[in-house]
């Protein structure tokens, strides 16, 4: 349920109303927009007399929210959420570009890629230290050592870092190394214990859509994180599994539009994992920006043909530079900046 207050509602009234609602055992999220204040209620709202509340002088409207996700719903928070991650704004007018190798392989490799993408205008450095792989015999990442290399490379080129966590027991390490955005991968989208754990910290979380997840399931996973108190959630569309085998996955750009309609959370697109083919990355990144994504995440490797993992979908630094030039041309057309 949401309670929409009139623009002239005094703070004393808001305080009295929220105190009364909390006394009924409900939780409240307060969203203050340019004109209106919205109170989002979570819990058993049947204990409230909605007719009485509707009659209050400063209440404009009382609306029940049918969606199972509440805090992630645009009804609870009509204005777009903008998240600050290491000084980078995600969800505002300026687009974010996260780039880097699928996996950290050595200090020389990650630092070289970091310098290249920074020179081309990337806003964040991505890289994998802990790698969830389909085969137990595939390279699983350099783990703690790789995380240290990634964060050090980010510091050297002054780029915030985003990287994937696989288990809750590594949260302290991620916080200790000052990871700017903690990524929850597609395979862990419904790892509810992990979602609850990152919900307890105050660090932005990048939540990738599961391989076979519906949009509602994706938003419900975001709700798990937000229910814990961490409202800094960024959604990432990275393709879903369909009957098509030509591409690694099927990129669902319609999901960007759907989520923008249903939720206030920022959305980025990962065309690298969606396709598995480097020649598709630039065009699909441009398409993502055209449909309203708040940014893209792409894999960049200095020698993709000899990458330790996912080389086929990794673009070279030269290709990345070309991608950035293309995005600079598209951004103003859709009312964005790069």
DSSP code, position 211: T
How many helices (H) and strands (E) the chain has is answered by: 11, 14
Domain 2-63 in CATH 3.30.365.10? The answer is no
* Angstrom distance (rounded) from CA 191 to CA 185: 10
* Angstrom distance (rounded) from CA 182 to CA 171: 9
* Angstrom distance (rounded) from CA 116 to CA 267: 25
* Angstrom distance (rounded) from CA 322 to CA 28: 47
Closest CA to 183 of 111, 125, 253: 125
pTM, entire model: 0.90
Helices 317-330, 278-290: crossing angle, 10 deg rounding: 20
Any residues with CB less than 8 A from the CB of 337 and at least 6 apart, and which? Answer: 93, 94, 95, 331
In the chain, which segments carry CATH 3.20.20.70?
83-334
The CATH superfamily label for domain 83-334 reads Aldolase class I (3.20.20.70)
DSSP H or E segment with residue 283: helix 278-290
In the chain, which segments carry CATH 3.30.70.1140?
2-63
- For residues 82 and 295, the answer to whether their CB atoms sit within 8 Å is no
pLDDT in tens, the chain (338 residues): 889 898 888 889 888 998 998 988 888 888 887 677 889 888 888 888 888 888 888 888 888 888 889 999 998 888 999 999 999 999 999 999 999 999 999 999 999 999 999 999 999 999 988 877 667 756 667 888 989 999 999 999 999 999 999 999 999 999 998 899 999 999 999 999 999 999 999 999 999 999 999 999 999 999 999 999 999 999 999 999 999 999 999 999 999 999 999 999 999 999 999 999 999 999 999 999 999 999 999 999 999 999 888 889 999 999 999 999 999 999 999 999 99
């Amino acid at each position: 349920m949401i309670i929409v207050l009139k623009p002239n509602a005094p703070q004393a009234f808001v305080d009295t109303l929220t105190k009364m609602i909390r006394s009924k055992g409900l939780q409240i999220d307060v969203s203050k927009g340019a004109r209106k204040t919205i109170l989002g209620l979570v819990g058993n709202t049947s204990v409230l007399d909605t007719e009485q509340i509707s009659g209050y002088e400063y209440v404009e409207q009382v609306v029940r929210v049918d969606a199972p996700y509440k805090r992630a719903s645009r009804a609870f928070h009509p204005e777009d959420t903008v998240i600050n991650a290491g000084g980078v704004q995600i969800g505002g007018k300026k687009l974010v570009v996260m780039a880097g190798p699928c996996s950290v392989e050595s200090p020389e490799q990650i630092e070289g890629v970091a310098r290249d993408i920074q020179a081309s205008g990337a806003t964040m450095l991505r890289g994998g230290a802990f790698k969830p792989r389909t085969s137990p015999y595939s390279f699983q990442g350099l783990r703690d050592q790789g995380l240290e290399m990634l964060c050090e490379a980010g510091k050297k080129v002054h780029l915030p870092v985003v990287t994937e966590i696989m288990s809750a027991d590594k949260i302290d390490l991620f916080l200790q190394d000052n990871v700017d955005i903690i990524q929850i991968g597609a395979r862990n989208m419904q790892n509810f214990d992990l979602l609850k754990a990152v919900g307890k910290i105050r660090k932005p979380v990048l939540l990738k859509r599961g391989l076979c997840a519906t949009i509602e399931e994706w938003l419900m996973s975001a709700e798990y994180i937000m229910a814990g108190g961490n409202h800094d959630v960024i959604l990432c569309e990275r393709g879903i599994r369909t009957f098509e085998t030509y591409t690694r996955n099927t990129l669902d750009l319609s999901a960007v539009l759907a989520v923008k309609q249903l939720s206030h959370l920022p959305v980025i697109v990962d065309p690298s994992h969606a396709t598995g083919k480097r020649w598709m990355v630039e065009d699909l990144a441009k398409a993502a920006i055209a449909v309203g994504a708040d940014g893209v995440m792409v894999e960049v490797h200095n020698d993709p043909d000899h990458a330790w993992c996912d080389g086929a979908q990794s673009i070279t630094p030269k290709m990345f530079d070309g991608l950035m030039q293309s995005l600079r041309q598209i951004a103003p057309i859709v009312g964005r900046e790069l």
